[in-house]
Amino acid sequence: SSCWLVHSSIVGRRPKFEEMAGVLPPGWGAYQDDEGRTYYANPETGETSWEPPAPPPSDLPDGWTAHQDPETGRTFYANVATGESSWEPPVVADAPPPAPGPPPEPEKPPGRWSVDFTYTIGPEGNEGIFDGKVQLLDRHVYNSVSAAVNNLNDGLIVVPEGYCVVFSGSKQNYYLLWREDKEAEVFSLLGLSDQ
């Protein structure tokens, strides 16, 4: 606790410690009395103290307090929780970045896919109908028409062209699948009729 005294005799004296200017609150200076003792004064307000005034606590980050070194009168800063101390005022740390949000939803393609938008190409040996023209989904990963349609609608399989071929393991046939807006385009590409 500081004891504040008001003395009109201190106004106009020169500060003893030049380095105190950067540590003391604005308007305050360090002075010597006739006996050589250091005291602190704010000529603007007329306040004086034998103890150096601390900067306002609102300037310090949470957990930090200002203290005076009894030998030098310099202000130092301490954080009891962390054991840190410093001659320089601590800087308020930037707020941590916000927690990342959930990952974005998979991109859903335009239009919908359906088991109704399929065409039976036929068993193995009919690859010439679509090879080099339409993407064949990996047979080891996608071997069901309905599972492929669900994955296409959920955006887990992305086929920018809007049509592809899947081999059904249970039916042992290739099936052409298309998005609802691509039937005419893929039928024309493969020379198929929509009978």
Q: Nearest 5°: phi and psi at 24?
A: -75, 155
Measure the CA–CA gap between 91 and 41, rounded to whole angstroms.
Answer: 26
Amino acid at 177: L
pLDDT digit string, tens, across residues 44-103? 778 888 877 765 555 678 888 877 776 776 777 788 788 888 888 887 766 667 777 777
pTM: 0.45
**Looking at the DSSP assignment, which residues form a beta bridge with residue 165?**
136, 176
Percentage of the chain lying above the pLDDT 90 cut = 40
pLDDT digit string, tens, across residues 95-135? 667 777 777 776 655 789 999 999 999 999 999 999 999 99
Q: Nearest 5°: phi and psi at 33?
A: -85, -175
Instruction: Give the total residue count for the chain.
Output: 195
Q: How far is CA 142 from CA 25, 52, 146, 158, 174, in A?
A: 73, 78, 10, 13, 12
